[in-house]
Every structure is written in structure tokens, then in C-alpha cells.
């Protein structure tokens, strides 16, 4: 459910694509995992900027983050109702730039094969996300982010039943970040699966299973020992699988 991704965009390209005021000092990453610092883009007082944030949302009302569950993803179908997400949907929408993301297909033998998923046209991905700022008792502040997921399209259902919500064009990205004029209900309706054919995928090395590995070889195609076509899984019920507390 989008638990790993890669981001290899040069800083100058990120500035141009996402209309940033200034560049950020970043290096290419090929295996970004939950709890790690990531780059997220949001607007504040009409100005758009890139920020470093923890991947794993911690709402501002949490007393002790160490005792709070790790919220890496928010389901689009229920984020308007969940206490951890409904306020951030109103006031804390962000974009997470990515080059591609990983998903795992479970085969008949229960083994999990990772796949790398990118746009078919080679353009970067703009993942829809939510951010919050947690303030500690000693005045410390921590920005954190959750990416949004939606039911998968038919093409990607052969790998997994969920996919990240991706903002495909400039207008949708502008609207998503425009918390002053675009209400939460309107924004929630923007989080939809992409049409078949917009994305492509290929199998990659199981080295991506370890967050310690982070190199260009992780996104390269591999030849599977036993070439078997992945098969579509039954769709899961919409709205299931997320704790009511969140």
C-alpha cells in the first residue's frame, strides 16, 4: 500500500515542476521507507515551498508520538471521517514528489515479488499527501506526512488492491494545495485511481525489502526465475482495513 518509493528528481527540476520559490538540498533516493525524512510540498500564507518531514503522520493533538501508531497511508474513502486525517484534509494537504513507487505481489507460493511502478510517459509522480505539525512540551516541532491511497485500477490490480493517489496534471496539483479556496470535500473527490495505461511496472530485486539498500540498481528490471504472469486479486471492500480510531 505504497510503503516504499524512489525520488531522484534534481533540485532544479523540482523547482520548475512544482513552482517552488527556491530549491532544496536533496540527493537521489531509491528506497525511501516509513519513518525516514522525506521531501513534501505545501503552501503557507500563499507561498509554496518544499519541506523535510517524517513519513508517518503524527497529528498535532497527540500527546506522546512514541505511543501513537505509525500512520504511513490514509485511505481516501475514509479520510474525511477519521480524526487523524479530517483536519489535515482541510488545512494540511501536500504533495510528495516521487520518481516511482514499489509494490509487492504475493504469488501462489506466498512469496512476495516487488515491482517498481512509474508513469508510462517517464514524468515524475505527484503523490497526494497530508501533513501535520506536532509541537512538543519543550517547544520542539516535528512535521510529518501520510500519503493517500485509493482502490487500484484494473491494470495494477494484478499486483495489489491499493495504489497511491496521484495528481496527474498541474491543475489538479494546484487545486490540491489550494487550501484557501478548495474545500476538503472537493479535495477528497480528487483522490481517484488513474486510468489504465498511465502507469507501467516491472519486477525488481528483492534487495528493496531492506531499507538499508539504497542504490540505482533497485529500480532496474530483473528477470524472474519462473516467468508466471501475475494474476488479479479480488477487490477488497471499500473503506475496510483501517482502524476506526484513526
* Helix (H) or strand (E) segment spanning residue 14: helix 11-18
Kindly report, residue by residue over 203-244, the tens digit of the pLDDT.
999 999 999 999 999 999 999 986 555 554 444 443 333 333
What residue segments make up the domains of the chain, in order of their start? 4-219
The answer, yes or no, to whether residue 245 has pLDDT greater than 80, is no
Q: In the chain, pLDDT over 70 holds for what percent of residues?
A: 91
Q: How confident is the model at residue 21 (pLDDT cuts 50, 70, 90)?
A: confident
Domain at 4-219: CATH code: 3.90.1680.10
The answer, yes or no, to whether residue 1 has pLDDT greater than 80, is no
Structural contact between residues 220 and 204, judged by C-beta atoms closer than 8 angstroms = yes
Query: In b/e form, how buried is each residue of 56-94, taking b as 16+ CB within 10 angstroms?
Result: bbbbeeeeeeeebeebbbbbbbbbeebebbbebbeebbb
Kindly report, residue by residue over 69-122, the tens digit of the pLDDT.
999 999 999 999 999 999 999 999 999 999 999 999 998 888 999 999 999 999
Instruction: Give the residue from 54, 46, 59, 55 showing the smallest Cα distance to 19.
Output: 46
Amino acid at each position: 500500500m505504497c510503503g516504499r518509493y524512489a525520488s531522484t528528481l534534481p533540485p532544479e527540476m523540482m523547482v520548475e515542476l512544482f513552482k517552488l520559490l527556491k530549491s532544496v538540498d536533496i540527493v537521489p533516493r531509491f528506497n525511501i521507507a516509513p519513518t525516514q525524512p522525506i521531501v513534501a510540498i505545501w503552501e503557507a500564507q500563499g507561498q509554496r515551498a518544499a519541506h523535510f518531514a517524517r513519513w508517518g503522520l503524527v497529528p498535532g493533538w497527540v500527546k506522546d508520538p512514541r505511543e501513537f501508531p505509525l500512520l504511513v497511508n490514509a485511505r481516501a474513502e475514509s479520510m474525511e471521517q477519521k480524526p487523524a486525517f479530517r483536519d489535515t484534509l482541510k488545512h494540511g494537504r501536500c504533495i510528495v514528489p516521487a520518481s516511482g513507487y514499489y509494490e509487492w505481489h504475493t504469488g501462489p507460493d506466498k512469496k512476495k515479488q516487488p515491482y517498481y511502478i512509474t508513469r508510462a510517459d517517464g514524468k515524475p509522480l505527484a503523490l497526494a499527501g497530508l501533513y501535520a505539525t506536532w509541537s512538543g512540551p519543550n517547544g520542539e516541532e516535528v512535521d510529518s506526512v501520510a500519503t493517500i491511497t485509493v482502490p487500484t485500477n484494473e491494470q495494477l490490480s494484478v499486483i495489489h488492491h491499493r495504489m497511491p493517489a496521484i495528481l496527474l496534471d498541474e491543475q489538479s496539483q494546484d487545486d490540491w494545495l489550494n487550501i484557501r479556496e478548495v474545500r476538503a470535500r472537493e479535495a477528497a473527490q480528487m483522490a481517484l485511481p488513474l486510468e489504465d495505461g498511465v502507469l507501467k511496472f516491472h519486477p525488481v530485486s528483492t534487495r528493496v525489502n531492506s531499507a538499508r539498500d539504497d542504490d540505482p540498481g533497485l529500480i532496474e528490471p530483473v528477470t524472474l526465475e519462473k516467468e508466471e504472469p501475475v494474476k488479479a486479486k479480488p477487490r477488497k471492500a471499500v473503506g475496510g482495513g483501517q482502524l476506526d480510531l484513526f
